[in-house]
Amino acid sequence: MIDLYTWPTPNGRKVHIMLEETGLPYTVHAVDTRAGEQFKPEFLKISPNNKIPAIIDRNGPGDKPFALFESGAILIYLAEKSGKYLPYEPAGKYTTLQWLMFQMSGVGPMFGQAGHFRSYAKETYQYSIDRYTNEVNRLHKVMNEQLGKTAYLAGNKYTIADIATWPWIINPERRGVDMALYPHVQRWFEEILARPAVQRGLALLDDKRKAHDRELTETERDILFGTSQRMQVAKGKAAYPSRSFPRRRESITQSHMRFRMHSRFRGNDGIDLVREAGAPLLQHVTRHRLLNQFVRIGGQQKP
């Protein structure tokens, strides 16, 4: 039995779909990210990055409970546990992992940023909107070219690369994408949408998603994007609060000692040593004293 900690977001839906496709038994635990439930200490023990999804496999390696976070790692784990959707032979396996990494490093972060600046940012930042909208369309072009040659992203078989990417293609208009420009992506999207397991995965917690189908409140915005991100995690003792105080200025004595160390290790280039000594020393010690100091210790070498 697998305990699934999730919420109906693109990353959550990857694992919903994978569990339905593999038929592995699982129990759902909703983690309402708008309410800040991802910061609860019990969840942070499973997912220290306070992100969904996460799982606990009650019958993990060695038949012991095994916790795992990060959706890509979870997909690989479930594929190997079930023997499905990740080819065994090396060429197919690494081609699949290649496209999975494409989703993890490109599609997820870039699509997420486009959605944020187009729909959630309180102020309009046109540069950010253009930057991420352009990148989202570039990534669609990459996928369109690939899917014009193969039925699925990693070849002619449905794999975890498709399962990871597909939920991010939902609602393309929110990211400034005209799907008519990417007919091969549209064909692939519709074929996967027709799979019964995908339909079941989409339905998971959908009632809770619809309850949140509205504008964010200020409290929710702060939880998702504001200072609550670090403060809530700090309360859960999974992170330290940030330090905003300025760096302490180096004392004259510290600068002098640093000068001595550089002269000890760097040899007898007086001009270079003066440069390495740093501004605080040059402000308080005359060049004459510096050069005298160099004469006394410049010839020494590291023991």
184 CB-side CA count, 13 A = 14
- CA-nearest of 295, 224, 289, 252 to 52 is 224
* pLDDT one digit per residue (tens) for the chain, 303 residues: 999 999 999 999 999 999 999 999 999 999 999 888 999 999 999 999 999 999 999 999 999 999 999 999 999 999 999 999 999 999 999 999 999 999 999 999 999 999 999 988 889 999 999 999 999 999 999 999 999 999 999 999 999 999 999 999 999 999 999 999 999 999 999 999 999 999 999 999 988 766 666 778 777 777 777 766 666 555 555 443 333 334 444 444 454 444 444 444 344 444 343 444 444 444 444 444 544 554 444 444 444
* pTM recorded for the entire structure: 0.74
Other beta carbons within 10 angstroms of residue 269's beta carbon come to 14
Q: First and final CA of the chain: distance in angstroms?
A: 63
d(CA 184, CA 191): 11
In a 13 Å sphere around the CA of 224, the CA atoms on its Cβ side amount to: 17
HSE (side-chain half, CA atoms, 13 Å) at 124: 2
54 has which bridge partners? 5, 69
Cis before residue 65, ω within 30 degrees of 0?
A: no
Domain(s) of CATH 1.20.1050.130: residues in the chain: 2-235
Q: Give the integer Cα–Cα distance in Å for 294 and 261.
A: 11
Digit-coded pLDDT (tens) for 180-236: 999 999 999 999 999 999 999 999 998 876 666 677 877 777 777 776 666 655 555
Query: Does 3.40.47.10 match the CATH number of domain 2-235?
Result: no
Task: Find, among 234, 208, 240, the residue nearest to 39 by Cα.
Answer: 234
Residue type at 58 in one-letter notation: R
